[in-house]
Chain A
Amino acid sequence: MSDAAPDVRLTLPARPEGVAVVRQALAGMADALAFDAAVLADMKMAVSEACTNVVVHAYEDADGVLEVDMLADDSALTIRVRDHGSGIHPQPSRTRDVPALGLGLPLIAALSDAFELHGSAGQGTEVRMTFRSSRDGDPADDNPVQGTVGDDGRWDADKSRETPAS
């Protein structure tokens, strides 16, 4: 079980090409822990979104680091994604040519079994996610992603989805 997988800390430049490296490390860690494939897929997605938030929002145009800790216990993997940037941003970044949909945190909440966000202006931000190796239910049922595409063709987090016709 967890004896097979050491705790892991990655420190990378907060750049777009680093996010795939984190996913690869995560896949190796989950493999050592014999995680269910569906949970691994959720982990990769949630951690990617957390790392993307760091890359896009944490440092404006300056260089900075992306830190990822992976901590295993008998039944779960906890992943902390941290930056030392300017703190939680309410606004999408204007400094990259990839506009954010604002879906990052809602996806993390839906895909993880537990999720905490820590940080304040000037202190950096830490997203802490826990994934259980086996699940009773689907966390996305408890924390569904809200919103859909609005009439203007853009993602609208406040717009209700149409109920499918039965």
Chain B
Amino acid sequence: MDANPIVLDDAAGDVVVVVVEGEHDIYTAPTLRERLDEALGRGGGIVVDLTRATFVDSSVLGALLDARRRALEAHQGFVVCVGDTMEPGVQRILDITGLVPVLPVVSGRDAAIDVARTTGNGASG
């Protein structure tokens, strides 16, 4: 059993959601990078869902920023989403690094999927 799972959810079809739960730091960052690589490899938009994450450190931000950069280079949408309320261990680092508008971070998975779908070139339409 993994208390800190990172799984891909491709129920949205052209946008894959990387669901990150629990605490994540330098120990789990390599796994996050693998999952993000896998998501990028699908070729569509990417949403990283931190709704059920309780702690992320700068190793995680590094993985997210690398994935964002590669997604933008490949014209794939990239969006991070959170729930209505954020754990302090997630909100604080996003706030003080000023990354909310940069990543970007939006509230709600459905809204994030819409943004990821409409910002990448890979979007159908």
| A interface residues, Cβ below 8 angstroms from B | 16-17, 19-20, 23, 37-38, 41-42, 44-45, 48-49, 52, 55-56, 97-101, 103-104, 107, 110-111, 140, 144-145, 148-149, 152-155, 161, 164
Contacts and interface: CB of A to CB of B under 8 A. Distances in A.
Nearest to B67: A153
- Chain B contact residues (Cβ within 8 angstroms of A): what range? 20 to 34
B96 A48 contact: no
Nearest to A18: B27
A111 to B, nearest CB: 8
29 contacts: A17-B27, A37-B88, A38-B88, A42-B92, A44-B89, A45-B89, A48-B25, A49-B58, A52-B25, A56-B26, A98-B30, A98-B33, A98-B59, A98-B62, A98-B63, A103-B58, A107-B58, A107-B93, A107-B96, A111-B92, A140-B96, A145-B96, A145-B97, A145-B98, A148-B98, A148-B99, A149-B65, A153-B68, A155-B62
A25 to B, nearest CB: 14
Nearest to B66: A99
